[in-house]
Amino acid sequence: MPVRLATDADVELLATLRRTWVEEDGPVDEPLFEQEFADWYAAEAHQRTTWIGFADTVPVGMLNLLEFRRMPRPGRLRSGWGYISNVFVLAEHRNRGLGKDLLDAAIATAKERGYARLVLSPTERARPFYGRAGFAVADELVLLSLG
């Protein structure tokens, strides 16, 4: 079971992975984080799909897919697109294929749902990883940075 869908019962596990990810750069004193994460997850779950990646039976990674539904338009079938985010694998488990398994699960789901596209905002370090999966730099979108 390298990858499976997260459920509401996994919120604590996901919060732990998220904290571990952030704390790769050092500890963060945020005692209310787990509750804030649980509140966020409850509010967002209706439009997100999250996968958990495993090494044996130990959770060591995750990926999140946010779904955007396009406004209906005459002459166009209903469609949407996805935004891949929060892709993380514990450092000691990287470069063993789990990130690819997580990404493959999201891509397969996007195809099943008939998405028009998948987008993401990779770190510089992650660009080659996404490039190997077929992602390319896009020039269709524009950005206004608000902070």
pLDDT at 44: 95
* pTM check: above 0.85: yes
Fold classification of 3-132 is: Aminopeptidase (3.40.630)
Residue stretches of the chain with pLDDT short of 70: 1
Beta strands in 43-128 (DSSP E): 48-55, 58-69, 80-89, 118-120
pLDDT at 1: 64
pLDDT at 76: 76
pLDDT at 98: 96
Pairing of strands 48-55, 58-69: antiparallel
Q: Are 6 and 14 in contact (CB under 8 A)?
A: yes
Pull the structure tokens for residue 28: 């963060």
